[in-house]
Amino acid sequence: MSVLEDVTTPQVIIDRDVLDRNITRMAASVAGKGLRLRPHAKTHKVLQIADRQLAAGAVGLTVATIGEAEVFADHGVEDLFIAYPLWITRPQAERLRRLSARARVSVGVDSVEGATTMGAALNGAAGQIAVLVEIDSGHHRSGASPDLAVEVARAADRAGLRVGGVFTFPGHSYAPGMPQQAVEQEQAALAEATELLTAAGYDASRRSGGSTPTATLTGPSVATEVRPGVYVFGDAQQLELERCGWDDIALSVAATVISRHDTGRGSPRRVVLDSGSKVLGSDRPAWATGHGRVIDHPEARITALSEHHATVVWPEESPLPVLGERLRVIPNHVCITMNLVDEVAVVSGGQIVDRWAVAARGKNY
Amino acid sequence: MSVLEDVTTPQVIIDRDVLDRNITRMAASVAGKGLRLRPHAKTHKVLQIADRQLAAGAVGLTVATIGEAEVFADHGVEDLFIAYPLWITRPQAERLRRLSARARVSVGVDSVEGATTMGAALNGAAGQIAVLVEIDSGHHRSGASPDLAVEVARAADRAGLRVGGVFTFPGHSYAPGMPQQAVEQEQAALAEATELLTAAGYDASRRSGGSTPTATLTGPSVATEVRPGVYVFGDAQQLELERCGWDDIALSVAATVISRHDTGRGSPRRVVLDSGSKVLGSDRPAWATGHGRVIDHPEARITALSEHHATVVWPEESPLPVLGERLRVIPNHVCITMNLVDEVAVVSGGQIVDRWAVAARGKNY
């Protein structure tokens, strides 16, 4: 890729052609199953990418914080789901109230106390905001046990909130061999909560699930919408989980070989790239081969990251890149990378055609 | 801490009183050994903290990129060491030239090719910039083997650069039981390179070493200056390495309990905080007890991080915090945290007294 020579490294590069293909394919796959697509925008935090997802048929966006929702509402996005069990303080309630005046807003809740506090803080505006009860489908992070969904819904109802359904995040799908099992647990948990909520007279018509590893597996069963995020770019985790191929990678980090050690001298045969954790992020599941992958060099292993250095060990039989050489690195977890940079270079047809701001970067609350 | 209730979480809080104590103590310790202190500013990236370090006697700052150097030079810092083996392109050479016109600039180099390329790119300005040869003292990241220091210095000299000494980073000191061994290897490597450089007629009068774990161990031996960074704040790594105490922690993340699971139901007894990897960062050495530590709750273990969630497992015998409760979390690696936020809340005497911008955040090149 000739653009590699045109940037200052480390530089995040988005291949817009691959991005558009990923967006179109996921939209078609989800629509083909009669599901609604509500992509998680925390992955990219970019207005231009949100526009492309909505143009391809997404019903709205998923975000993780009120701050992210504000950025996309300012841009005109009309339907926003904060898929997070918010604990609402007065200042946040005021922001949520303003947000709900200009967009359809739904939020998560996973406890009686959370629902009660939210209703009280929102006061008169509570009815404008739909709450979805978060349930735990096996990831064991947030989310109520499915058998407690009615208890949470009842508290929400008492607090003046409008119950709109359930959601779950099958995050345990991010491991080898797990996507199919995780999607089955996800559907079972959604089914259990839906049955209980419906029997108790609550609206469970919106049932939201899905992550990138499971979204394409989700059948027309219990879930009515899916919230994949990473699919727009792909990353080394999805690659190693075989949920995407090398040709589906839309985001890479251009990096320069700044140190090179071909002889042993008691240390590994390696190059050091300037793409440290400041741009690749440090996420590294135990099953990953390293801290990302090097495009065109599947044999290379990123064995260590510090903030400004990526140590890449090369096997003896493969020629070691030279000093100053530019390589393209795929981060393990692309959401982390996007949250580290203020803007990205956009490539189409092998040329830099644009720069996009990461508009919702750092909107931590 | 009452300020916990006054912020929106997750929020990075700097205790200025502890910060000042850490700055004063390190300055006194280093001066007491007859060494010069050149703190690594990548840890904080904050102008107000740089000012305090310089006022306490630091001879200048260390940074990792030209972009960071530019931010501090704009602020008036007169002596900047880019402790990194830069691979210089034309646009970067131009920036380095402008930088050297308004500050004393030194940079790293660890290869013949790097020195040659740098000299050629800097052209007439090469003589204004001092280069320090980076040597590997056992961390096996960047840095030439000490016996190759003369070869690199010769290339730098031929390329018109001014050789000013040697530097190393004993990064392998960041592990239990390693600081003392790492500092011995650091001094031995500096000694070997210094002897060879001096014998070959090169200036090796500036010998720079040191990390936070080793800086206070470094005796008045071979190194003439040290570059600790993390000492200003402390972090969970330093705490668990016993290189600082709980009372020395100047940076914490205020977080809210947003999900709580007291009963088993087949999942761990836990709370979930809103301080995910978006603010704590994902650095987690194998020897760490988890993804950070919780102040006032040494028994808690941060077992998992996702971007917006910190899962904290609590032992059965200890009462589980309630929903909405505010806790203070110490990140594993504080440099990562500072690179994730745009500003921090500053506390003194238990009150919020200021907000500081993280001026050099994201200056990746």
- For B103-150, the pLDDT digits (tens) are 999 999 999 999 999 999 998 888 889 999 999 999 999 999 999 999
> Could you give the residue range(s) of every CATH 3.20.20.10 domain in chain A?
16-232
Cβ contact A272–B142 (<8 Å): yes
What share of chain B has pLDDT > 90, as a percent?
A: 86
Is the pLDDT at B50 greater than 90? The verdict is: yes
Q: What is the mean pLDDT of residues B141-165?
A: 96
For B4-31, how does the pLDDT look when each residue is reduced to its tens digit (9 = 90+)? 888 999 999 999 999 999 999 999 999 9
Q: Kindly identify which residue of chain A lies nearest to residue B277, measuring between CA atoms.
A: A336
* Chain A neighbors of B42, CB-CB under 8 A: 307-308
B306 and B276 in contact (C-beta within 8 Å)? yes
Q: Yes or no: is domain B16-231 CATH 3.40.1480.10?
A: no
Homologous superfamily of A2-11+238-357 in CATH?
Answer: D-serine dehydratase-like domain (2.40.37.20)
To the nearest whole Å, the CA of A56 is away from the closest chain B CA by 26
Give kind and range of the element (H or E) at residue A63. Answer: strand A61-63
Confidence band, pLDDT 50/70/90 cuts, at residue B220: low
Cβ contact A323–B278 (<8 Å): no
Is the pLDDT at A230 greater than 60? The verdict is: yes
Other Cβ atoms less than 10 A from the Cβ of B79: the count is 17
CATH fold for the domain made of A16-232: TIM Barrel (3.20.20)
* Chain B neighbors of A65, CB-CB under 8 A: 308
To the nearest whole Å, the CA of A4 is away from the closest chain B CA by 13
pLDDT, residue B20, reads: 98
To the nearest whole Å, the CA of B107 is away from the closest chain A CA by 13
> Could you give the residue range(s) of every CATH 2.40.37.20 domain in chain B?
2-11+238-357
* Chain B neighbors of A143, CB-CB under 8 A: 259
Is the pLDDT at A105 greater than 80? The verdict is: yes
Q: Is the peptide bond before B176 cis (omega within 30 degrees of 0)?
A: no
How many angstroms separate the CA atoms of B165 and B22, rounded?
A: 28
Confidence band, pLDDT 50/70/90 cuts, at residue B219: low
Select the more confidently predicted residue: B265 or A188: A188
Q: What is the mean pLDDT of residues A277-304?
A: 97
Select the more confidently predicted residue: A173 or B294: B294
To the nearest whole Å, the CA of A29 is away from the closest chain B CA by 27
Cβ contact A92–B136 (<8 Å): no
* Chain B neighbors of A341, CB-CB under 8 A: 362, 364
Cβ contact A365–B64 (<8 Å): no
B96 and B122 in contact (C-beta within 8 Å)? yes
Q: Kindly identify which residue of chain A lies nearest to residue B83, measuring between CA atoms.
A: A308
Q: What is the mean pLDDT of residues A141-170?
A: 96
What value of ipTM does the predicted structure carry? 0.96
For B271-301, how does the pLDDT look when each residue is reduced to its tens digit (9 = 90+)? 999 999 999 999 999 999 999 999 999 999 9
Q: What is the mean pLDDT of residues B148-167?
A: 97
* Residue B72: C-alpha distances to residues B100, B136, B297 (Å): 13, 28, 37
pLDDT, residue A1, reads: 58
Cβ contact B323–A277 (<8 Å): no
* Chain A neighbors of B336, CB-CB under 8 A: 277, 282, 307
Q: What is chain A's mean pLDDT, rounded?
A: 94
Is the pLDDT at B236 greater than 80? The verdict is: yes
Q: What is the mean pLDDT of residues B199-221?
A: 83
* Chain B neighbors of A136, CB-CB under 8 A: 267
Cβ contact A260–B111 (<8 Å): yes
Taken as a whole, chain A contains a residue count of: 365
Is the pLDDT at B195 greater than 70? The verdict is: yes
